[in-house]
């Protein structure tokens, strides 16, 4: 289809029609003025974007040269830091300051809780994530490995009363721990009632009802006060709803008629246009923009199931209650962020002079345009109650790139007639130059920062690429025990608190990567709120419900108060390169080397096959042992760069890599065999297989070790082949 010429812009028809027919109507913005403003904004910011990328290349070349001259582990750390300062890799640290971000919603500024990340191109996933603000504790316990399946408590295909009893007991124990009664146990409750603005609980064997040990934990109810259908409680800023229905399948067997315990779960959700999606052209981008628009309108729907079991998922309404001081509402949906792409990639959605424009600039404009319906109060269901938009910007390298984003967001605000600071910024602390200069990065956008987050996966990928030429790195599984990881996680919280984020913005932690292993998550992920983080990423609504229990165990606000003013690490620790010393390398047997190689290549092939062939940017991918892991471009970046590092330093040979690629392709083919799957073997010449070869054998040349350039090129080539067109250059 012919492209649309608008001034000096060459706009893809899908984007032009979306803006004209869906995004602009009702906004009060003239179409011609909009496109004229976009053209000027691109003229102003595209050269700056290119200059920042050129600066990345300049820094990386200097580091490559330095490591070539100083091979092996860094021996003189003072000299190394001096080199980084002279290079400008380390910026001057600003004087102490406090961020001035205003009009931040409570979910971001004050409420600590789980955060979902979901690909916004998938409407079903996006709607489900938005609705994950409230989750069933009964379902989360029953349907996961949190409860053992021995002693007759198997999940099975039909309801197991013994497992159900264990679920109810576990939920009652949760209530007793965090909402204790003045006497007795929730396990003995026979009725819940509201009398005189307070909750009373009738207990088996007791003549008089009891109240809560802390009466202020009761906030409200729904239905008849004498026999409410819902009782609302609050602890550590999170809400819990006891649902009562004696006629329900579960409630009829409960002495108090309790059918479920709902837990406020995904307090916030990041609708992702970046690592978890495969958007390689204008049509893909418009799918994401449209879903973001409909999320902001409150109109997004998705069809679930098929045939007689099909149903339509809609966004949940707000929840109403009657409290001691009258009726009130609580949000029914997660507070939504949108994660835009970084500065690297370009998009064919708009061409200027025949050249693709920076994708991150287009994302900034389009996601803000789609948020107007909420900001202006025109949406059927509100996202931000303060009239703000929340945008996460990934993969920024240092304070100059953050300053660029701050300026870009200000220009978008002017274009759309918004007050300065309306668009709040989330800084992903996931590149080494950002970690090393985090205080300066926050300072560069101190009027709009509402979120910082450790992305330890991408941070590991950047660690590998930044110091690639210096020597072989430790085995991938050992990365988490290296000095820089602990320093990185501690510093993120310490700097965030020092810059005044407490009570004003989120301090976040990374993803739980094993979506089927909830028992381990429940045991381990409590470390994130204990670290002082107000949010941490989870891979599913069920995981959000279970992770929410950690924020009842840990008072994050109190923990942040304990940590305030601490400096638990040093720059030297943060910049300790995870090189393997000569003795360690010599100790690796051939079996060790090949096992590491196969582990990396199998996960990369499994992920890339779905990305290139099916356009799936994030999914559960079986590892070499068949354990499902959440894979996205960040995990792919680590695995590919690790192989590149070992290949470059002779730990493995090209012949060993090629042989392992074919062996692991066979494993992936077997794991995915079924109707419609196109195996990589025996020809091993498809776009997906060759994409992995590119990532590994050309890994030194990939900007910062990113996977996007290769994946986009290969996916575009496959789409062109399938449509009978020539592949784009």
* Collapsed DSSP state (helix, strand, coil) of residue 391: strand
E strands within 225-354?
Answer: 227-235, 238-244, 258-264, 268-272, 301-304, 311-314, 319-323, 326-330, 335-339, 346-352
Is residue 655 within 8 A of residue 662, CB to CB? The reply is: no
Q: What is the phi/psi pair of residue 451, to 5°?
A: -170, 130
CA atoms within 13 A on the CB side of 685: 2
* Cα separation, 163 vs 167, whole angstroms: 6
* Cα separation, 349 vs 346, whole angstroms: 9
From the list 105, 348, 632, 694, the catalytic residue is: 632
* Cα separation, 435 vs 573, whole angstroms: 12
Measure Cα distances from 553 to 232, 416, 528, 662 in Å.
19, 43, 12, 48
Between strands 227-235 and 218-224, the pairing is antiparallel
24 by Cβ neighbours in 10 Å (0-12 / 13-18 / 19+) ranks as middle
Is residue 391 within 8 A of residue 338, CB to CB? The reply is: yes
Kindly report the length of the chain: 729
Task: Please indicate whether residue 145 is annotated as part of the active site.
Answer: no
Is residue 388 within 8 A of residue 424, CB to CB? The reply is: yes
* Cα separation, 44 vs 41, whole angstroms: 5
DSSP code of residue 19: I
Residues 6+ apart with CB under 8 A from 341: 273, 274, 359, 360, 363, 394
DSSP H or E run through 192? strand 189-195
DSSP H or E run through 367? helix 359-375
For the chain, first and last CA: distance in Å?
A: 18
Task: Please indicate whether residue 254 is annotated as part of the active site.
Answer: no
Is residue 368 within 8 A of residue 296, CB to CB? The reply is: no
Angle between helices 399-416 and 359-375 in degrees, nearest 10 = 50
Between strands 301-304 and 346-352, the pairing is unpaired
Long-range contacts for 58-62 (Cβ within 8 Å, ≥24 apart)? 59/87, 59/88, 59/89, 59/433, 60/465, 60/466, 60/704, 62/87
* Cα separation, 543 vs 537, whole angstroms: 9
Residues 6+ apart with CB under 8 A from 179: 186, 212, 214, 217, 233, 235, 240
* Cα separation, 580 vs 38, whole angstroms: 49
From the list 319, 339, 446, 633, the catalytic residue is: 339
Measure Cα distances from 359 to 83, 91, 143, 349, 519 in Å.
33, 27, 40, 9, 40
**227 is written with which tokens?**
């026999």
CA atoms within 13 A on the CB side of 129: 29
309 by Cβ neighbours in 10 Å (0-12 / 13-18 / 19+) ranks as exposed
* Cα separation, 381 vs 336, whole angstroms: 12
Q: What is the phi/psi pair of residue 703, to 5°?
A: -55, 115
- The catalytic residues are 339, 632
């Amino acid at each position: 289809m012919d492209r649309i010429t608008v001034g000096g812009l060459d706009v893809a028809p899908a984007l032009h029609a979306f803006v004209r027919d869906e995004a602009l109507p009702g906004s009060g913005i003239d179409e011609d003025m909009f496109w004229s403003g976009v053209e000027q904004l691109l003229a102003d910011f595209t050269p700056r974007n290119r200059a920042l990328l050129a600066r990345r290349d300049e820094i990386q070349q200097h580091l490559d040269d330095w490591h070539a001259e100083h091979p092996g582990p860094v021996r003189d750390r003072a000299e190394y830091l001096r080199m980084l300062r002279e290079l400008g890799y380390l910026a001057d640290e600003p004087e102490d300051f406090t961020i001035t971000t205003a009009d931040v919603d409570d979910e971001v500024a004050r409420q600590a809780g789980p955060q979902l990340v979901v690909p916004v191109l998938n409407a079903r996933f996006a709607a489900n994530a938005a609705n994950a603000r409230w989750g069933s504790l009964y379902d989360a316990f029953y349907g996961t490995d949190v409860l053992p399946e021995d002693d007759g408590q198997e999940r099975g295909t039909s309801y197991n009363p013994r497992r159900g009893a264990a679920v109810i007991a576990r939920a009652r124990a949760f209530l007793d721990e965090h909402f204790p009664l003045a006497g007795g146990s929730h396990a003995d409750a026979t009725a819940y009632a509201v009398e005189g603005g307070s909750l009373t609980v009738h207990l088996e064997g007791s003549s008089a009802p009891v109240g809560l040990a802390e009466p202020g934990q009761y906030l409200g109810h729904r239905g008849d006060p004498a026999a409410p259908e819902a009782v609302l409680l609050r602890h550590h800023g999170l809400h819990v709803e006891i649902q009562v229905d004696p006629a329900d399948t579960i409630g009829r067997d409960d002495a108090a008629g309790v059918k479920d315990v709902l837990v406020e779960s995904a307090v916030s959700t990041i609708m992702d246009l970046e690592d978890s999606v495969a958007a390689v052209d204008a049509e893909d981008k418009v799918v994401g923009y449209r879903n973001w628009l409909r999320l902001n309108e409150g109109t997004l729907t998705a069809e679930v199931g098929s045939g007689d079991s099909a149903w339509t998922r809609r966004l949940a309404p707000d929840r109403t209650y009657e409290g001691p001081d009258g009726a009130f509402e609580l949000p029914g949906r997660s507070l939504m962020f949108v994660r835009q792409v970084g500065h690297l990639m370009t998009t064919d959605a708009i061409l200027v002079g025949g050249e693709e424009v920076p994708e991150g600039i287009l994302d900034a404009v389009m996601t803000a345009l789609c948020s107007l319906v909420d900001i202006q109060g025109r949406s059927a269901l509100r996202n931000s109650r303060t009239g703000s938009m929340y945008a996460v910007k990934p993969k920024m390298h240092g304070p100059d790139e953050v300053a660029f984003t701050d300026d870009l967001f200000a220009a978008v605000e002017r274009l759309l007639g918004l007050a300065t600071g309306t668009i709040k910024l989330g800084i992903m602390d996931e590149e080494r130059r950002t970690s090393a200069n985090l205080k300066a990065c926050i300072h560069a956008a101190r009027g709009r920062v509402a979120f910082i987050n450790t992305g330890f996966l991408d941070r590991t990928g950047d660690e590998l690429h930044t110091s690639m030429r210096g020597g072989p790195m430790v085995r991938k599984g050992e990365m988490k025990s290296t000095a820089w990881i602990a320093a990185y996680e501690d510093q993120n919280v310490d700097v965030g608190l020092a810059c005044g984020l407490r009570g004003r913005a989120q301090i976040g932690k990374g993803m739980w990567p094993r979506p089927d292993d909830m028992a381990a998550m429940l045991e381990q992920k409590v470390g994130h709120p204990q670290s002082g983080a107000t949010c941490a990423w989870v891979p599913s609504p069920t995981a959000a419900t279970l992770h929410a229990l950690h924020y009842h165990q840990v008072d994050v606000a109190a923990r942040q108060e304990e940590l305030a003013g601490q400096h638990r690490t040093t720059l030297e620790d943060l910049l300790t390169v995870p090189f393997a010393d000569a003795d360690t390398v010599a100790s690796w047997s051939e079996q060790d080397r090949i096992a590491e190689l196969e582990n990396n290549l199998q996960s990369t092939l499994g992920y890339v096959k779905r990305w290139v062939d099916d356009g799936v940017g994030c999914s559960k991918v079986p590892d070499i042992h068949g354990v499902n892991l959440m894979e996205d471009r960040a995990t792919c970046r680590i695995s590919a760069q690790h192989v590149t590092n070992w290949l470059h330093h002779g730990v493995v040979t090209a012949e060993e890599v090629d042989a392992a690629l074919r062996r692991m392709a066979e494993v992936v083919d077997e794991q995915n065999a079924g109707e419609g799957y196109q195996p990589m073997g025996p020809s091993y010449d498809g776009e997906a297989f060759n994409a992995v070869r590119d990532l590994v054998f050309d890994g030194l040349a990939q900007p910062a070790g990113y996977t996007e350039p290769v994946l986009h090129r290969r996916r575009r080539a496959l789409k062109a082949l399938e449509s009978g067109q020539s592949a784009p250059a």
